[in-house]
Amino acid sequence: MSPLDRKLLRDLWRIKGQAVAIGAVIGVGVLMLVMMTGLVTSLDETRKTYYERYRLADIFAPVTRAPDRLIAGLAAIPGVSAAEGRVVGSALIDLPGLDLPLQARAVSLPDFGEPRLNDVYLSAGRRLDSDRANEILLLQGFAKAHGLEPGDTLSATMHGARRTFRIVGLARSPEFLYTTPPGELAPDDSRFGVIWMSRTALSAAYDMDGAFNQALISIGRNAEEAAVLDAVDRLLDANGGLGAYGLEDHESNRFISEEIDGLRAMSTGVPPIFLAVAAFLLYIVVSRMVQSEREQIGLMKAFGYTNAEVGAHYFKLILAIAVGGALAGCLAGIAAGRALIGVYLEYFKFPFLVFQLDPASFVIGFGVSVLAASAGGLIVLRGVFALTPATAMRPPAPQDYSRSGRIGRSFNKLLDQPSRMVLRRLTRQPGRMAGAVIGIAAGMALSVGMISILSGFDRTIDLAFSVVDRSDVTVTFTEVMSDKTVLELQRMPGVIEVEPVRVVPAILRNGLNTYRGAINGLVREPRLNRAVDKDLATIVMRQEGVILASALADILDITPGESLTVDVREGRQPVLNIPVIGIAETLLGSPAFMELEALNRALREPSRVSGAYLRVDAAHSEGIYRKLKDMPTVAGVSLKADARLAFQKLMDTGAGAMRYIMAAIAAIITFGVVYNSARIAYAERARDLASLRVIGFTRGETAFVLLGELAVVTLLALPLGSILGYFLSFGIAAGFSTDLYQIPAVFTPESYGMAVLAVVLAAITSGWLVKRDIDRADMIIALKTGE
């Protein structure tokens, strides 16, 4: 081993605390990269495999009622490789001990053989016997939530008739990886299920003998999906076609895509932040080490070592820390990815999900770590090359503190000797102090940003379920009903208030921008479920146009005053051109709102509703639920309390859970930055501090000289970190927001207080660790000149 390599090992051991802290920062960035890219690869590859293995359709075509003979016409469309018709419908499941009916979707399977498209994965029991009309397969997640097993019986209301079924198997399906109750955005296994029945049995239940109400279509690789969609719509239009749509608009697939895209965005946006902080810390450490080792550098050059050899020595130091941190990050990323993959397996109902590593993430992680570290190190190495042996071996000129001026003399009268030392250090080396302030401020900015996001998630839930939605129960009808149905709800004992609503599925278009959603018809001055503005004031529904959620307006790239094309996908299916008259600040989904009467008038269907919001007396709730269960026109009943719990669970798992991981990482980064600043300052002044002890300063006074500097730097960093955190919060909030929910950047005194407390605690802990080293320092060794 060469002398320079032995010196390298000694240097690493001497700065082991700083090296570990910087390596941890690098490791965190690589951890996030490996973990997130691995999760993206695992979810994406598993989704593709699952879709292909169980033949998930590329196109879904709902229709009111179409004869089976049209399937041959669909299969003959150019580009179509397979087509199949089936029957689907809504159902209400009645379980013993539950007053509230549970919503379900009934789906038919062929009487004989496996379906050509949208097959199911049988996880328990057996497949259906077509000769037994009462046999069903049940979605495994729903069955598990209620303790149901093959052999159990189940009662359900279908098309107004109560039926009893026998569960013969539990199933999963690529079509129902993400299952939500109608009208809600968050999945809830306990409140929504899927029932599979034989085609003959389900056709009889929904009066669909010889007909289908949904076509499944698979297309070839070279087929143009848009052309196939147009051809399908033309063929089914005469039979009440409701608008064919591709897999990208399928609810389950869309939410999984949102999750994958969110993870992909975080994997590219978050790690560089940590690696940039690490590069900055390495720059400070190595630059100050070079300054403190001027004489050693001069001696090495005097002994004949070239600039390249001396520079390589310090560059190896940088690489050792960077590679060590990257390696630890890779190993930790693998462990974290494997731990989280179980969460996604449960969350998305995959029958199989194995954490797959992305080899590129290791290459990128190591490459970016080394490049980020080298970027800071190369700047320092320029100074190494510039030093000649004679210059390097001559100590740097001491600082001149004689010209302190009138202000300095005034402070000298007020401050004791240790305090004046702290002040001189801060004022005579502003560059180094500024670097320390910026480093700590960057750490605090991360804490401010992540704590603000934690508050943002809570704010989203609170606003959505307390301010916007002030109802207790949401009732959905089996079909569009006369508004007289609302009177039946109002007459129920215990119902305090009823507010009708009509939800009309539609494709919204503005030029080339489209969104498959719905128009929500609200009463003129809604009270139970409102559209609100930025000030959270109720928006009065005006009759002359449509009001869009801010997220939807961004998707469609449209502003108030422009005209929106609304392609209605129910009833007569008119195409409307409606002016946009306002923007609403909704945090859940991307809805559009119209005044109820104006919407019915535009559709030429006066006095029609599709559901209602209820405010009820809790003392009468059980009786209300029982009556709703017995109403044949009711397709579903949803409690706001249950929806809120489901959404809270959604935000605490999956990508939403990443906010807790990132908050913990931000705290680690903050401590690492503060601790490095303290250690660097101690390394620079170890000889000076030992000198103070020799001339009579106590341990407390000596520590004050160093820790007072750390305290001032930390205090100066707090306001700068608050400002940086404010702007960083908006970027992080945008990264977490999706079409499903929008996360605001929430700034509260509590969030800033917690961030300040995190920095102060990090400073106190770092100060205590450094003071312990000061107290243990050997003054004789510290006073020796390193040669």
Tell me how far apart the terminal alpha carbons of the chain are, to the nearest angstrom: 20
165 and 263, same structural domain? no
User: How sure is the predictor about 281, in pLDDT bands with cuts at 50, 70 and 90?
Assistant: low
Last residue of a domain, one of 234, 251, 268: 251
Helix axes 699-736, 658-694, angle to 10 degrees: 160
Exposure of 764 in the CB half-sphere (CA atoms within 13 A) = 6
Structure tokens at 255: 């939410």
How many other CB atoms sit within 10 Å of the CB of residue 259? 22
Give percent above pLDDT 90 in the chain: 23
State how far the Cα of 500 lies from the Cα of 474, in Å rounded to an integer. Answer: 10
Q: Give the end of a domain, one of 643, 674, 693.
A: 643
Weakest mean pLDDT among 496-505, 651-660, 744-753: 651-660
Question: Which one-letter DSSP state was computed for residue 223?
Answer: -
Q: Which two tokens stand for residue 443?
A: 């750490």
- Residue predicted with more confidence, 621 or 683: 621
Q: What is the pLDDT of residues 638-673, one digit of tens each?
A: 888 888 887 777 767 655 566 666 667 767 777 777
User: How many residues are present in the chain?
Assistant: 787
User: How many H-runs (helices) and E-runs (strands) does the chain carry?
Assistant: 24, 20
Provide the H-helix boundaries in 246-358. Answer: 251-269, 271-292, 294-302, 307-348
Whether 404 has a pLDDT exceeding 60, the answer reads no
Considering the domain architecture, whether residues 156 and 231 belong to the same structural domain is answered as: yes
Which pair of structure tokens corresponds to residue 176? Answer: 């129902």
- 263 shares a domain with 247: no
**Domain containing 300: what range?**
1-58+252-397
Residue with tokens 């196109």: 59
User: What is the predicted pLDDT for the residue at 77?
Assistant: 93
Are 220 and 321 contained in the same domain?
Answer: no
Reported as a pLDDT band with limits 50, 70 and 90, residue 787 is very low
Dist CA 624 CA 471 (whole Å): 15
Average pLDDT rounded to a whole number, residues 498-517: 90
Spatial CA neighbour of 60 closest among 211, 239, 234, 241 = 241
For the purposes of burial, counting CB atoms within 10 Å of the CB of 73, is it exposed (0-12), middle (13-18) or buried (19 or more)? middle
User: Are 379 and 411 members of one domain?
Assistant: no
Say which residue, 227 or 404, is predicted with more confidence: 227
Cβ-Cβ contacts under 8 Å for 171 (sequence gap 6 or more): 120, 121, 122, 123, 137, 138, 139, 140, 194, 196
The pLDDT of residue 336 is above 70: yes
503 lies in the same domain as 585: yes
List of E strands, 412-512: 473-482, 495-510
3-state secondary structure 282-314: HHHHHHHHHHHCHHHHHHHHHCCCCHHHHHHHH
Contact present, 282 and 377 (Cβ < 8 Å)? yes
The residue type found at 275 is: L
Predicted confidence (pLDDT) at residue 515 exceeds the cutoff of 80 = yes
The reply to whether 16 and 77 lie within a common domain is: no
Residues 709 and 766 in one domain: yes
Rounded to 10°, the helix 3-14/307-348 angle is 50
Quick check: 561 and 579 in contact, CB under 8 A? Answer: yes
Give the 3-state secondary structure of 25-82.
HHHHHHHHHHHHHHHHHHHHHHHHHHHHHCCCCCEEEEEEEEECCHHHHHHCCCCEEE
What pLDDT does 578 receive?
Answer: 92
DSSP characters over 596-623: HHHHHHHHT--SEEEEEEEEE-GGGHHH
SS3 590: coil
Phi and psi, residue 594, nearest 5°: -140, 160
**Do both 448 and 483 map to the same domain?**
no
Determine the Cα–Cα distance for residues 736 and 751; give it in Å rounded to an integer: 18
Residue 523 has pLDDT above 70, yes or no: yes
Q: Which two tokens stand for residue 275?
A: 């690696």
The DSSP symbol for 633 reads T
Q: Are residues 460 and 496 located together in one domain of the fold?
A: no
Is residue 112 located within the same domain as residue 229? Answer: yes
**Of 374, 397, 420, which one is at a domain's C-terminal end?**
397
Q: Looking at the structure, do residues 110 and 232 belong to the same domain, yes or no?
A: yes
Q: How far apart are alpha carbons 752 and 756 in whole angstroms?
A: 6
Average confidence (pLDDT) over 763-779: 78
pLDDT in tens, 352-397: 777 777 787 778 777 777 776 676 666 666 666 666 666 655 655 5
How many domains, in total, are found in the chain? 4
- List strands edge to edge, sheet with 245-246: 80-86, 211-219, 59-67, 245-246
pTM of the model: 0.74
